[in-house]
Structure 1
Amino acid sequence: MAEIAVVAIFVAKPGYEEQLREALEGIVGPTRNEQGVLQYDLHRDVEEPRRFVFVERWESQEALAVHARSAHILAYRKAAADWVEHGEIRVVSKIV
C-alpha cells in the first residue's frame, strides 16, 4: 500500500464562515481516530478567511475511501452543503 496525501480546500459562502469552520472542526477528532490516517490538519487561509484547507496523509487509497464513506463525513456533507461556495479535493502522491 502506498501512502497518499490530500489537499482539500473549502470556501465558505459569504456569511457562512463560522458555520463552516465549526462543521469542519467537528470532523477533525473523529477522522483522527480512523484507521489509516497519518495526518489530518485543518487550516484557515490568512489572506482569505472564507477559505479552509485540510492537509491530510493516509496510509493508502483504501483508507481514504473508507474515510469518505464514514458517518461523520456523510453527516458533514449533508449539513454543510448550503455553506460551501467552492470545494476542491486533490489526492496526490509524494515524488521526493
Structure 2
Amino acid sequence: MEIVIPEVSGPIGLYGFARPRPERAAELESLLLSFVEPTRREPGSLQYQVHRDVADPTTLVFYELWRSATDLREHLAVPALAGFQRTRMDYLREDLEIHWLLPLN
C-alpha cells in the first residue's frame, strides 16, 4: 500500500492501526516507539503518539497531526520511515489501516 496523502490546505491529521504478527509484536512496538521523539522534533509535527488498543492489546494505534500535507510528505521521506514503509509487512499481519482527519479548530 502506498500512502496517498490527500491534497488539503492547512493542517492534516491521521490515525491508524498497526496489527502485528504475533511473533513480531514486541519488535514492532519498539520500532514505532523509536519514531516518536525524532518525529516530534520535525518541522511541521504538531502531535505524534503511539497507543495500545484497550479492547485489543495486540493492536497499536498511532495518531499524528501535521501543519501541512507537505510536512507530512517530508516526514514519510525520512530514511527511517521510508525504510519502515518498504519492510512493514515483515512485521504486520495485515497492512496499515489509515484514516485521514481535517482539524476543525
Identity of aligned residues (%): 29
Across the aligned residues of Structure 1 and Structure 2, the Cα RMSD in angstroms comes to 1.6
TM-score, reference length from structure 1:
0.88
Residue 30 of structure 1 aligns to a residue whose secondary structure is helix
Number of aligned pairs? 96
Q: Report the CA distance between 1:79 and its aligned residue.
A: 4.8
1:9-41 Cα offsets, whole Å, 9 max, x none, are 110012221011011011111111111000001
The equivalent of 1:94 in structure 2 is 103
1:58-89 Cα offsets, whole Å, 9 max, x none, are 00111111111111202333454311112112
- Tell me the distance in 1 between the aligned counterparts of 2:99 and 2:78: 19
TM-score, reference length from structure 2:
0.81
- Tell me the distance in 2 between the aligned counterparts of 1:12 and 1:77: 14
Select between 59-68 and 82-91 the one with higher mean Cα deviation.
Answer: 82-91
Choose between structure 1 and 2: higher strand proportion.
1
Structure 1 residue ranges, 4+ long, deviating more than 6 angstroms after superposition: none
Unmatched tracts of structure 2, length 5 or more: 1-8
Unmatched tracts of structure 1, length 5 or more: none
